[in-house]
Structure 1
Amino acid sequence: MAGLHTPTNRRRFLLSSGAAVAGAGAAWALPGQRRSSAAADPGPARTGSVPSPARPASGRPAPYGVTTLETTARLTGTSGYRRLASGPGWPLVVRDELASAGPRRQDRRTPLACFVQLTDLHVADVQSPLRTEFLRAGSPGSWRVQEALSVAGAVSLVEQVNAIRGGPHTGRAPAFAMSTGDNIDNHETVELEWFLTLMSGGRITPNTGAPTSYEGVQNSGLPLYWHPDAGLRDQDKRRGLPEIPGFLDAAIRPVTSPGLRIPWYSTPGNHDDLPGGCLNPADPWLCDYIAGGRKIFSVPDADVAALARVLNTGDDPKSAVLKEVLQRNSAGARSVVADERRRMVTPRAYLRAHLDPVHAGAGPAGHGYTENHLDGERMYYTFPVAENVLGISLDTTYRSGHFEGSLDSEQLGWLERTLAAHSSRYFDADGRPVRNPGAADAHVLVFSHHHSPSMTRRPDAARTDAPRHDGAEVIALLNRFPNVVAWINGHSHVNRITPHPHPTPARSFWEVNTASHVDYPQHARLLELVDNHDGTVSLFTTLIESAAPHRADLGDLSAVGLASLYRELSYNAPGLADGMAGGVLEEMAGRPADRNTELLVRGFRG
């Protein structure tokens, strides 16, 4: 839900929840860990220069043209509404903190896998009665000016993925896409339908309530919100945002997604499991309210402050304060058309929707889930990434209501057993080596929504006596298995790549955290795994943008034009483009060593 935590606090939490970020161009370094030579070595491989021409392991020229290695969206101007233009691409940075970069690895490496990570699409019903846009009165960034265009923007990203003919470092076509959570925003049935149609192909009408008109905050007449269709001198027009007649009618028009041409998998995030990403999904009053015919556009400042306070801390898992605010201000609510399609999605319904043949798309059936998952409403599973490469998808959400993540003991035990079943040599919790000759050795890639700093031991409000396990515990478990290459996740809305070293180098692995597609910089990642045949493997990470032109044409309200505008508006979020965020814009995009990289790690030996 937009505005469930004020952006200043939300961004501060996301940017600071790991460790301090080193200066621009410096490699990530945990306390007591040496820096990557990516920052220290002046040679071409260390400064990130891409070989020219780049040659993938297959020997074919790399099929460039759709990644940030070639070009990236860049802000122009210095104030007001800043337009976008196509700028130079970002270089490849070699990250060798966990394994040395052999001088001839390019000549002998073998491709193992190529795939795409999408994350934090936040496909949103922006007219939902349960959205709390009024929190913007306490912080301007608590509501996104671009959010009405989430479907058009996501369709353009699907088109870009479909345009990738092969990875720039292997020449292999992507074999699948993984969406690592927050696929939807309000936990609504209609949003889930839009997301599944987006991924599998079909027509989407991003509108709820009144069938032919918009009923949200952007035509409310309140200067708190950007009114693109009106001459109202709202607070966003005062900082330079344009008037765009016809914007709202265009935003609710049907758009057709081609669907991904490759198989895709789905991992749940807190917004998929919880309304607004942190509210109580089991509260009967909230369940009725979200589908009802009353919507509140503004509340007194005292209520804004009280609600923002508990949403930032997460100390109100039963959403009592929100209910009090909505009930106390009910007399000021406006009538909207009630819509049963806004009903909250139960875990079983979420699984059933993925299993529905209507949404099969390019496969696989269920997109990672099977009928067996319905028994315990489990949302974690394994899948084949490639030959001798295993994917593990985790469910890190608190289903009773909280934006942070964790694992319960059942899932942590399942993860340990799964890792052991695919490793003929690993270490127990006390560091003793374990031989497991019956295991089928495989490189392992772990996927989740939450990144390690956002996983805590906070008790689940529904089961306060059941222990929860945080990111540090997951890292400790993964460090026991030499065949784990990387943990790939989202949630932070930031590009960040972190090494997780171990005194035994073969037990080290990478954590790859990718920014969202709703906020600046609207990225996804292309990942390629290769065997260097020198005792190391490399995971290449390459950021991609949507297919929409970088510079928006304010008079073009086609689906393509809206996707361009979606990106340009996100780059003009309060406190980002105007430089008031103190470097947040740069931090969200990541340093060079968090973007297009070669991540080296020791290969395992069974």
Structure 2
Amino acid sequence: MEFAESKTTLGRRLEPTSPRVGGWRDLEVGPGEPRARGLPLEGELVARLVHLSDSHICDAQSPARLEYLDRFGDMHVTSDPNLYVGTYRAHEMLSVHVLGAIVAATNSVDEGRPVDAVIVTGDATDNAQRNELTWFITTLNGGVVRPDSGTWGRWEGVGSPEGVFDPSYWYPEGSSTSELGDYPRSLYGFPTVPGLLTAATTPVRMRGLRAPWLSVYGNHDALLQGTVAPAADLRQRATGTFRPHRLPEGWDYDRVAEGFEGRGPASYPPAVDEVRPVSPDSEREILSRDQWVQLHLEDGSHHGPHRDSRGVAQTRWWREVGGVLIVGLDTVNPHGGWEGSVDDEQLEWLEELLSASKAPLVVLCSHHPPQALTNDYAPEGAATRRGTKEILELISRHSAVGLWLAGHRHRHHVERWVDTNAQYDFWVIETSSTIDWPQQGRVIDIRRERDRWWFVSDVFDHAGEASPSGEMGGEMPMDSLSGWARLLALNSWQRRRGLQRSTLLSGHIHDRNVALNWAAPR
């Protein structure tokens, strides 16, 4: 049975309007978008998957963050159209509400033929904190989430109307300490939304997913800002009482960038003596890999991460769904850098798994897409890291690998990887994040017709309002909060030009609603 077209962008799309003063754009509901590739559907539906990625659940009040770096990428600061820093988002206090809204939308495509599994390909959290992962798991399982930290009920993050005024941040409720407007409102058309911060930190009951869900390890789940291996001093800062708010004297962004790259190692800039106080919170603990796995085990379900027969935490896993082998890979380099790689132990495990499998189709799932497996950094004495070349060599020995699901780039992208000489041929489907525009998920129907397969993929929006109200009054419902998050993400002022502009994250028409045909190479 097909899911209703109205539940996906086959039935309707949200389209940005023309810019207003300051470049702000609203959203309007437009006509649906037909599938761009493929022939009429045929064959037996053997599995229905939902692919979500990069929720970046964020404790926006944490002292382990580096919001102050973000201004170096602002359009009024740099003429470089492609510089995007990404350490601050105006809507990051609403990440939980967006995830709740994408869960609600996922449940709506679960009508008719149920979803067999929801696969989340990493970066569940933004800064590897315990409270962030707890909020993520509770949102997917169902239960009450209080997206607040430090002293509950008192906003201690940037943008507080009572805090020290810094015009580089958005003040959703205005500022009582400055008559000057912040840059987002004065230069980039951002609105004032009274009551937003209070509503964002109010406890909210999540319904949870109806379908079982599986979790993949991402670089933001392991590394600070998705890049820096957490040393003892940074672990202490996360749970401590001070927040750095500027670079040390003599430092500029270029110097920071030298130690903050896709390939490790990476480091935070030194802390300064001039800091701002925050309330301590032990729930901001930076998680180890073992702790990350353990939190996934506490509800007694099977979300992929597990302990092996020796009790060792494992972030790679496999499941069979409808006779299809689903494999979750850990592509995080624990030594630092935001790009990915694997070690020899995982390659050996994957080789053994695929050699023993009789499944006619294998779906690989990882945070990093194959072209991002370039981070081969390993400190002296550590295991060698392997990348794209070694993974492709392995896949070429196993012709059943037909599909690879990934995130990381926060974009919709579909690409066929084929090399007849190496005898591999598979599709890679990347799905957008739920933190940046367009904040969408993807439903994938896997169909079989004799020795051929169809991967039918359709994109869907979260359940937030397209045009949320600016009049909050009392409690603001989650649909309104997630709607504001989507509008704020669309209008990110660093994503209005160059190769980093928001609209590029939606991909081209052939990256969204598609029907992909595949047969194993002979």
Shared fold (TM-score, shorter chain, > 0.5): yes
The match for 1:528 among 445, 449, 454 is 445
Taking a change above 3 Å as real, the CA distance of residues 373 and 129 of structure 1, as seen in their structure-2 partners, is farther
Structure 1 residue aligned with 2:275: 333
Taking a change above 3 Å as real, the CA distance of residues 212 and 77 of structure 1, as seen in their structure-2 partners, is same
Q: TM-score, structure 1 length as denominator?
A: 0.78
CA–CA distance in 1 between the matches of 2:15 and 2:484?
14
Partner deviation per Cα, 1:28-79 (whole Å, 9 max, x = no partner): xxxxxxxxxxxxxxxxxxxxxxxxxxxxxx5xx6422211111122111224
Taking a change above 3 Å as real, the CA distance of residues 399 and 506 of structure 1, as seen in their structure-2 partners, is closer
The match for 1:561 among 476, 480, 488 is 480
Partner deviation per Cα, 1:337-395 (whole Å, 9 max, x = no partner): 011111111111111111112xx5xxxx2311333277333210111122x21100000
CA–CA distance in 2 between the matches of 1:227 and 1:478?
50
- Contact in 1 for aligned 2:307/2:314 (Cα 8 Å): no
Is 1:215 matched with 2:156? yes
Report the residue type matching 1:86 in the other structure.
Answer: V
CA–CA distance in 2 between the matches of 1:206 and 1:307?
34
Report the residue type matching 1:444 in the other structure.
Answer: V
Is 1:236 matched with 2:217? no
- Contact in 2 for aligned 1:459/1:466 (Cα 8 Å): no
- Contact in 2 for aligned 1:448/1:490 (Cα 8 Å): yes
**Secondary structure of 1:277's partner?**
coil
Partner deviation per Cα, 1:510-565 (whole Å, 9 max, x = no partner): 111111110111121111110123x4211011111101121222224322110100
Structure 1 residue aligned with 2:371: 453
- Contact in 2 for aligned 1:135/1:304 (Cα 8 Å): no
Task: Structure 2 unaligned segments of length 5 or more: list them.
Answer: 75-83
Report the residue type matching 2:26 in the other structure.
Answer: R
CA–CA distance in 1 between the matches of 2:144 and 2:310?
28
Structure 1 residue aligned with 2:362: 444
Structure 2 residue aligned with 1:272: 221
Partner deviation per Cα, 1:446-504 (whole Å, 9 max, x = no partner): 0000111211152223x555221112321232233221110110001111111111327
CA–CA distance in 2 between the matches of 1:346 and 1:583?
31
CA–CA distance in 2 between the matches of 1:77 and 1:229?
25
Partner deviation per Cα, 1:112-160 (whole Å, 9 max, x = no partner): 1101011000000011101000012311353211111001111011111
Task: Structure 1 unaligned segments of length 5 or more: list them.
Answer: 1-57, 96-100, 423-439
- Contact in 2 for aligned 1:184/1:192 (Cα 8 Å): yes
CA–CA distance in 2 between the matches of 1:596 and 1:570?
22
Report the residue type matching 1:355 in the other structure.
Answer: L
Query: Counterparts in 2 of 1:138-177, with a 5 A limit?
Result: 138-140=72-74, 142=86, 143-166=88-111, 172-177=113-118
The match for 2:304 among 365, 368, 372 is 368
Structure 2 residue aligned with 1:390: 325
Report the residue type matching 1:460 in the other structure.
Answer: A
The match for 1:483 among 400, 404, 417 is 400
Query: Counterparts in 2 of 1:273-288, with a 5 A limit?
Result: 273-281=222-230, 283-288=231-236
How much has 1:246 moved relative to structure 2? 1.2
Taking a change above 3 Å as real, the CA distance of residues 221 and 68 of structure 1, as seen in their structure-2 partners, is same
- Contact in 1 for aligned 2:127/2:225 (Cα 8 Å): yes
Report the residue type matching 1:158 in the other structure.
Answer: V
Structure 1 residue aligned with 2:37: 94
How much has 1:589 moved relative to structure 2? 0.7
**Secondary structure of 1:114's partner?**
strand
Taking a change above 3 Å as real, the CA distance of residues 62 and 562 of structure 1, as seen in their structure-2 partners, is closer
Structure 2 residue aligned with 1:549: 465
Taking a change above 3 Å as real, the CA distance of residues 133 and 163 of structure 1, as seen in their structure-2 partners, is same
Taking a change above 3 Å as real, the CA distance of residues 374 and 85 of structure 1, as seen in their structure-2 partners, is farther
Report the residue type matching 1:526 in the other structure.
Answer: V
CA–CA distance in 2 between the matches of 1:75 and 1:302?
42
Structure 2 residue aligned with 1:406: 341
Taking a change above 3 Å as real, the CA distance of residues 374 and 279 of structure 1, as seen in their structure-2 partners, is farther
Is 1:118 matched with 2:52? yes
Greater shift, 522-531 or 581-590, is seen at: 581-590
The match for 1:198 among 123, 139, 145 is 139
Is 1:352 matched with 2:271? no
Once superposed, which parts of structure 1, at least 4 consecutive aligned residues long, lie more than 6 Å away? none
Structure 2 residue aligned with 1:539: 455
**Secondary structure of 2:290's partner?**
helix
CA–CA distance in 1 between the matches of 2:316 and 2:262?
24
CA–CA distance in 2 between the matches of 1:93 and 1:174?
23
The match for 2:504 among 587, 591, 599 is 587
CA–CA distance in 2 between the matches of 1:593 and 1:555?
39
CA–CA distance in 1 between the matches of 2:62 and 2:356?
45
Greater shift, 309-318 or 156-165, is seen at: 309-318
Taking a change above 3 Å as real, the CA distance of residues 376 and 456 of structure 1, as seen in their structure-2 partners, is farther
How much has 1:299 moved relative to structure 2? 3.2
Of Structure 1 and Structure 2, the greater helix share is in 1
How well do the aligned residues superpose, as a CA RMSD in angstroms?
Answer: 2.1
Structure 2 residue aligned with 1:33: none
Report the residue type matching 2:201 in the other structure.
Answer: I
Is 1:492 matched with 2:409? yes
**Secondary structure of 2:185's partner?**
helix
Taking a change above 3 Å as real, the CA distance of residues 448 and 373 of structure 1, as seen in their structure-2 partners, is farther
CA–CA distance in 1 between the matches of 2:494 and 2:428?
28
- Contact in 2 for aligned 1:183/1:269 (Cα 8 Å): yes
